[in-house]
Amino acid sequence: MGNLYVALIHYPVTNRQGDIIASAVTNLDLHDIARTACTYGAKAFHVVTPLTDQTRLVETIVAHWTKGGGGRRNPKRREALSLIRIETSLAEVLAHIGAREGERPAVIATSARHRPNSMGFGPLREMIHRGSRPCLLLFGTAWGLSEALVATADYVLEPVNGPADYNHLSVRSAAAIVLDRLMGRR
């Protein structure tokens, strides 16, 4: 069923004005995207932040659900949050996946903006299901991944568009839709 990894990037991302920032971690991002990753069979969910206090926050939340009372009361939530790996940079994510898989994954950036070289959902779905190489999907918090980070990716996925003009999904919703389109039963 493919060899897929998911990463949620808190730095480098942009704010409303287009400046590069490190965004704050949102508790429900961890829960929602972990549950989505678990539903669609991703092998890990990497939460990327270089800020020490944010790393500690994520560790505390994850420990509550994987080792503490939360997970005892709700084993399904424990199963999902067990997928979370905390990393300080994309380079660290790539190193960890590389060590686990024996090869560097193909890196696919997601974006709310169409680009001339965007990859369609169909071709990416095929690439993942051929399973010849691990794939890492990057999702950006705040106003999205920095252009410099997008430029380092092997592919940029086409945006999720509905029938309307509106194109401002939360990262939680976008991750759910993207994983369903790539990994959902057809």
Task: Please report, as ranges, the residues that interact with a copy of itself according to CB under 8 A.
Answer: 1, 16, 28, 31-32, 35-36, 38-41, 74, 76-77, 79-80, 160-164, 166-170, 172-177, 179-181, 183-185
Under a CB-based contact definition with an 8 Å cutoff, are residues 3 and 101 in contact?
yes
User: Is the backbone peptide bond immediately before 116 cis, with ω within 30 degrees of 0?
Assistant: no
Under a CB-based contact definition with an 8 Å cutoff, are residues 12 and 148 in contact?
yes
Nearer to a copy of itself, 1 or 148 (CB): 1
Nearer to a copy of itself, 97 or 175 (CB): 175
Q: Which residue has the tokens 């509550």?
A: 64
Find all residues with CB under 8 Å of 171, minimum gap 6, and list them.
8, 29, 33, 139, 140, 141
Taking the complex as a whole, how short is the minimal distance between the CB of residue 69 and a copy of itself, in angstroms? 14
Nearer to a copy of itself, 41 or 123 (CB): 41
Taking the complex as a whole, how short is the minimal distance between the CB of residue 33 and a copy of itself, in angstroms? 8
Taking the complex as a whole, how short is the minimal distance between the CB of residue 138 and a copy of itself, in angstroms? 18
Which parts of the chain fold into alpha helices (H)? Answer: 27-39, 52-66, 69-73, 75-81, 90-101, 121-130, 147-152, 171-183
Nearer to a copy of itself, 32 or 87 (CB): 32
Taking the complex as a whole, how short is the minimal distance between the CB of residue 160 and a copy of itself, in angstroms? 7
